[in-house]
Structure 1
Amino acid sequence: MLRRETPVHKFNLNPIDSVEYDLDLDYVGDGEKIHRLDVLSPKREGSAQPLPVYVYFHGGGWTSGDKDPLTKYCATQAAEGMIVVNANYRMATRFQLKHMMQDGNAVLDWVARNIAAYGGDPTRIVLGGDSAGGHIAALLTAAAYAPELAEHYGIRPPVAARNLRGLVQHCSIADFSVLFDRGFVLSLNFVRMLLPERGRGQHLRSAARFMSPIEWLDRGFPPVYVTTSERDYFYRANLNFIEALRARKIRVDTLIYGRRSVNTKHTWQQDDTHPESQEVYRHLGAFVRAVAPRAVAAASV
């Protein structure tokens, strides 16, 4: 295995030294920064049991952002006893949601083929992300259960639905119907921006169905962990998603802060200096251990 010695200090202050950092791995093969991912794994001695894999997509309103500032967040999760994959992807306005979905699918294909070499178990994968990245993670999860959705984005899920053990949503927008509410913080231009030819000739509400994970929930959908607050732009979308999951008897763990929690503005989870973020990390580690437990070896006959 090739391990790059790129220092993590340039990404985050006070890096976690109990974690191995394999940075800027090309998951497509085109040499582009936008198609790079990092693998973060806890330092272990000898031949240890494979660990669950947490695949993370950064936020940025579908138009900006990068994996590098999420290094510290991902390292905190690796230290909790999992392999973390932190990925970049193509973004608007040059690209549309279909390209983001295809990149996310390529990340999962890379994980399925390569993560065992880093100590990860490709049959115990949890997807996650913040804001737009959480939206992509939710759509990828839904596409594993909904062939119509996968076909719409031109992808063939490389990971079997049974191997997607959980989904993490940090301030995500899993319900696009809120964009049609009067006075919502984002305009309908965001819907158009994510569509081919900016949605020219398409009925936006019909198009939004394929952009809205809440529309594609299946009773076999994996457990979900949602963190949000009343200070989050997408608070209402998160509450709608939680309600829809519960209505379908899908396990959903939540961490929701009220407006008095001043450290919980949109995507506060990225900043490890907040006690509220540390609470998120503790809950997240427990969630992954619960939904992606180590398989018990069959007793020898």
Structure 2
Amino acid sequence: MPLLRSLLAALTLAVLLLPHAAQAVSVMDPFNVPLAMDGGTAKVGDGIAYADGARAKLDVYAPEQRGEPAPVVFFIYGGGWSRGERGEYEFVGRALASRGFVTVIADYRLYPEVRYPDFLEDGARALRWVQDNIANYGGDPNRLFLAGHSAGAYNAVMQALDPSFRAEYGVTMPILAVAALSGPYDFYPFEYGEVRDVFGEAPNPQGTQPINLITAEAPAMYLATGTTDPIVRVQNTERFAERLRAQGVWVTTQYYDGFGHMEPVLAMGALWRWRMPVLDDMVGFFQRFGAFPSGVPYLAVAPEAPEMLPEAIAPIDQIVSELNAMFQPIEE
């Protein structure tokens, strides 16, 4: 079973390196091992500059076989607005590409270099690049979807709810829908140090909260969370969804029973997809709002989940625990 042996070797290496996660080897590496990612996909843009600055770079993933222009997902990773690299989420880019999407993953500036709202401005600048250039990579800028996890989910819904960021950079593409995983949308007052550091100097702190910015013009939203998330409590998603519905906005909620903060985004990749159907749920939601007008999404590949034995589960769970331990709670 060469696939299983390769995956176990990668997992073992990652576990051994967990105490040294600050080094070049990332704790996310097992999810980005080539054998653990979706085939039939290509990285068609690598480290493209969307603006000036070391962090203003993005990657683009697409199905290997491309014909008609494909829908676009702009995915924003999390990390408490203070950590994260686009390369750590290659497995997400390839997962969405395997389902027929052109996927863009952009870095953005982090604390302590910047505070709110600079990282949102970076997102808008990256979206302007998408508007101007994504057709050259096989994407249709008129079928744009936003997605994000954790702090990235916050960034994604803020781009959708506060048009001033996009207007500043001339972004006129419509956002058809947003998929947000494990996101904080209602965390004022700022109780924890990490959040106070990033948002504490905002002149209008209530204006930093997505729950206060909802209007009837907001795009449809898919909100997913683990029910035992210790970083962003499930009630955060529940309150946000309730307010969206009160404004007449289409919202679909998905609560993954017994899972925590990192699990929903990790389960997008082929290595952990057997744990929950988050990728299929997200793609089905995007399909409802016009991803594939023909009604039949093009699948570059329909990968089988990697073969896993019971003893292979423990290293993954240890990695997930380590990832969860890296974050402070965002709200009570």
Question: TM over 0.5, yes or no?
Answer: yes
Q: Distance in 1 between matches of 2:92 and 2:141?
A: 22
Q: Distance in 1 between matches of 2:197 and 2:142?
A: 35
The 5 Å alignment of 1:265-284 reads: 265-271=260-266, 272=269, 273-275=271-273, 278-284=276-282
* Alignment partner, residue 220 of structure 2: 223
From 42, 53, 57, the equivalent of 1:20 is 42
How many pairs are equivalent? 258
1:207-236, Cα deviation, whole Å (9 max, x unpaired): 222211111111121110111022112222
Query: Does residue 170 of structure 2 align to residue 166 of structure 1?
Result: no
1:288 positional shift = 1.4
From 138, 143, 148, the equivalent of 1:119 is 138
* Alignment partner, residue 136 of structure 1: 155
Q: Distance in 2 between matches of 1:164 and 1:61?
A: 24
Query: Does residue 217 of structure 2 align to residue 199 of structure 1?
Result: no
SS at structure 2 position matched to 1:255: strand
Q: Distance in 1 between matches of 2:31 and 2:64?
A: 20
1:16-48, Cα deviation, whole Å (9 max, x unpaired): 231110221111144x1x111110001125xx2
* Alignment partner, residue 3 of structure 1: none
The 5 Å alignment of 1:45-194 reads: 45=66, 48-144=67-163, 150=164, 156=168, 158-160=170-172, 163-177=174-188, 179=189, 187=192, 189-194=193-198
* Alignment partner, residue 183 of structure 1: none
* Alignment partner, residue 147 of structure 1: none
SS at structure 1 position matched to 2:82: coil
SS at structure 1 position matched to 2:240: helix
**Amino acid across the alignment from 2:32:** N
SS at structure 2 position matched to 1:256: strand
1:127 positional shift = 1.0
Q: Is the 8 A contact 1:102 1:155 kept in 2?
A: no
Q: Is the 8 A contact 2:179 2:221 kept in 1?
A: yes
Q: Give 4+ residue runs of structure 1 displaced > 6 Å after superposition.
A: none
Q: Which segment drifts farther, 81-90 or 249-258? A: 249-258
Unaligned runs of 5+ in 2: 1-28, 295-332
Q: Which segment drifts farther, 230-239 or 50-59? A: 230-239
Q: Distance in 2 between matches of 1:156 and 1:60?
A: 25
1:183-221, Cα deviation, whole Å (9 max, x unpaired): xxx51x3443224xx529x5xxxx222211111111121
* Alignment partner, residue 235 of structure 2: 236
1:134 positional shift = 0.8
Q: Distance in 2 between matches of 1:81 and 1:226?
A: 22
Sort the Cα spacing of 1:254 and 1:27 in 2 relative to 1 into closer, same or farther, 3 A.
same
TM-score normalised by the chain length of structure 1: 0.79
RMSD after superposition: 2.3
1:292 positional shift = 2.6
SS at structure 2 position matched to 1:85: strand
1:109-147, Cα deviation, whole Å (9 max, x unpaired): 000000001111111111111111111111111122xxx
Sort the Cα spacing of 1:38 and 1:121 in 2 relative to 1 into closer, same or farther, 3 A.
same
Q: Which segment drifts farther, 13-22 or 102-111? A: 13-22
TM-score normalised by the chain length of structure 2: 0.72
**Amino acid across the alignment from 2:240:** F
Sort the Cα spacing of 1:128 and 1:157 in 2 relative to 1 into closer, same or farther, 3 A.
farther
